[in-house]
């Protein structure tokens, strides 16, 4: 697995830690990653094509149905060991920021609270016209449902390609990356901007950069350490080495 003593020491000594997660963290919960081949009736669609305002305006029903299908998958999924290990890390550090590109609520359901959702959340729905949030909607009537306030079409509260990210979440993410002493990039192909710039900003600001991914990415060459294994395997081991070992030593002292 390649968790070096230096890596453990860096994490033990750190006070400011930030983590960026991508779809790879939810893969072990059975949620297909963005680059996994789409299956079933979605096999012929390219996610990057569907996740755009143009696609929604061109075919609102198709895009609405795609998110309804993904919402069902996400709601049926459970957080995995990677999500829970990140909760342990959050509770261990006084300054810990979890920045996620994922829209699936699994970090929140696992117990993460110092959480920044850069790309929104599939469980929330808002009006395409007036941006009013819809607390609920009728899946049996006209789809996409319409806004109670202005009659506009409702859409998932996610960031589509070509749309800006939520200002505050992005600002806080930049700040967390800049002050981090250790930055972990976990389960992301590090392609989508501006999220993919966060690990590099951290590195440039002096952070020790750890990448956890089953495959090499464009970030790997910049990482101080690339742990080529599943997030659900590596993160619990990191918690054991960084937190549990200290606790057992203190208890034994
Ligand atoms: C913006 C929500 C400007 C929706 C998402 C050229 C043309 C057009 C646009 C651009 C361009 N160049 C740059 C851009 C900008 C564009 C962009 O970055 N494009 C890319 C494709 C080059 N970015 C944008 O459009 C952003 N907005 O720039 O707006 C602007 C600014 C101000 C005002 C107005 C406008 C918006 C980007 C957000 C898009 N929305 N999601 C939805 O989900 O439906 S992004 C989407 O892709 C996903 O949410 C996810 O975040 C991302 C995919 O990334 P990953 O999470 O990394 O997932 P992926 O499948 O790629 O990789 C998974 C990784 O996990 C793999 O590496 C795999 O090996 C690994 N893995 C798998 N299993 C495991 C594992 N690792 C560990 N353990 C495992 N078990
Ligand atoms: Zn409206």
Q: Which residues, other chains included, contact 195 with Cβ-Cβ below 8 Å and sequence gap of 6+?
A: 20, 22, 99, 101, 118, 119, 165, 173, 188
pLDDT the model gives residue 188: 97
- Of 53, 64, 65, 161, the residue with max ligand 1 atoms within 8 A of its CB, to mutate for a pocket test, comes to 161
pLDDT the model gives residue 36: 80
pLDDT the model gives residue 18: 98
Structural element, H or E, at residue 123: strand 120-127
pLDDT the model gives residue 244: 78
* Site residues for ligand 1, CB cut-off 6 Å: 22-24, 27-28, 33-35, 48, 51, 101, 103, 119, 158-164, 187-189, 191-193, 212-215, 217, 230-231
pLDDT the model gives residue 142: 95
Q: Which residues, other chains included, contact 56 with Cβ-Cβ below 8 Å and sequence gap of 6+?
A: 63, 64, 128, 153, 155, 160
Q: Reply yes or no on whether 119 is catalytic.
A: yes
Residue ranges, the chain, pLDDT below 50: none
Centre of ligand 2 to C-alpha 104, Å, is 24
Which domains can be identified in the chain, with CATH numbers?
A: 1-31+79-119+165-253 (3.40.50.1220), 33-76+122-158 (3.30.1600.10)
Per residue in 37-50, pLDDT tens?
777 778 888 888 89
pLDDT the model gives residue 42: 80
CA 113 to chain centre: 13
pLDDT the model gives residue 177: 98
CA 245 to chain centre: 28
Centre of ligand 2 to C-alpha 168, Å, is 23
pLDDT the model gives residue 246: 66
pLDDT the model gives residue 249: 64
Centre of ligand 1 to C-alpha 191, Å, is 6
Centre of ligand 1 to C-alpha 111, Å, is 24
> By alpha-carbon position, which residue is closest to atom 44 of ligand 1?
51
The Cα–Cα gap between 94 and 82 comes to: 20
pLDDT the model gives residue 104: 97
183: phi > 0 → left, psi -120 to 50 → alpha, else beta; which?
A: beta
């Amino acid at each position: 697995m390649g968790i070096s003593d230096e890596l453990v020491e860096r994490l033990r000594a750190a006070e400011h830690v930030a983590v960026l997660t991508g779809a790879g963290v939810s893969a072990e919960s059975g949620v297909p990653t963005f680059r996994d081949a789409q299956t079933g009736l979605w096999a012929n669609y390219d996610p990057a094509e569907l996740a755009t305002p143009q696609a929604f305006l061109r075919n609102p029903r198709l895009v609405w149905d795609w998110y309804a299908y993904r919402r069902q998958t996400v709601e049926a999924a459970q957080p995995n060991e990677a999500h829970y290990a990140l909760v342990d890390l959050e509770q261990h550090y006084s300054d810990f920021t979890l920045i996620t590109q994922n829209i699936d609520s699994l970090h929140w359901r696992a117990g993460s609270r110092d959480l920044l959702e850069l790309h929104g959340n599939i469980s929330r729905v808002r009006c395409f016209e007036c941006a009013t949030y819809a607390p609920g909607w009728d899946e049996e009537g006209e789809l996409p449902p319409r806004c109670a306030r202005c009659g506009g079409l409702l859409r998932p509260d996610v960031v589509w390609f070509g749309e800006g990210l939520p200002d505050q979440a992005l600002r806080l993410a930049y700040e967390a990356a800049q002050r981090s002493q250790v930055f972990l990039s976990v389960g992301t192909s590090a392609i989508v901007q501006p999220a993919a710039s966060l690990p590099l900003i951290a590195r440039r600001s002096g952070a020790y950069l750890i990448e956890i991914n089953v495959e090499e990415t464009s970030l790997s060459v910049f990482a101080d350490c690339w742990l080529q294994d599943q997030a659900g395997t590596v993160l619990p081991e990191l918690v054991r080495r960084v937190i549990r070992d200290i606790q057992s030593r203190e208890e034994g002292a």
